Copies of this chain bind each other. A is one copy, B any other.
């Protein structure tokens, strides 16, 4: 906890974009993760497809990358940023029925890019959900959080091991 009031709310309780005029342009990185829980048989369908042509994961990867670039259109108080890199990776845990998604974003800018990484993860998960929803109505998207953040005044942040589900 680094402060006791919300930076996006002014003294009158009104929302505002934080003024970053005085902040330095630095190289920044953020890594976020999340996962889609599904029936193992649903995960098999995705993985079989991957063995063939990978289009489910390709679609989710592309959707996540494209969404990261539009984060400032979705999140009202985010600053527009010209991202240097967006990567979206998947990792399947078949037995647990979990498809893990991890996004890495880099920028030279005045603000961090954790929202861009979280948006990439969220939209990639939603795309997987969309493509599998006809075969599995009980999927759940969970565990969306920041894993690592570097650059900027707040120093290097690295999340602990996944907390107890809460």
Chain A interface residues (CB < 8 Å from chain B): 1-9, 12-21, 27, 34, 37, 39, 41-42, 45-46, 49-50, 52-59, 61-63, 65-67, 69-70, 72-87, 89, 96-98, 106, 108-110, 114-115, 118-119, 122-123, 125-127, 129-146, 149, 157, 159-160, 163, 165-166
Partner of A84 from the list B19, B56, B58 (CB cut-off 8 Å) is B19
Contact, CB under 8 Å: B140 / A75: no
Q: Could you say which residues of chain B place their CB within 8 Å of the CB of A166?
A: 37, 96-98, 140, 142, 165
Of listed A27, A138, A144, residue having the most chain B CB within 10 A: A144
14 more contacts with CB within 8 A, not counting A6-B46, A63-B76, A115-B126, are A7-B131, A7-B134, A13-B53, A15-B131, A19-B106, A59-B62, A59-B76, A66-B73, A74-B74, A75-B127, A97-B166, A98-B166, A115-B129, A139-B145
Q: Flag if A143 contacts B140 (CB, 8 Å).
A: yes
Q: Which residues of B contact A65 (CB under 8 A)?
A: 15, 17, 76-77
Residues A141 and B6 in contact in the complex (CB < 8 Å), given A62-B62, A77-B65: no
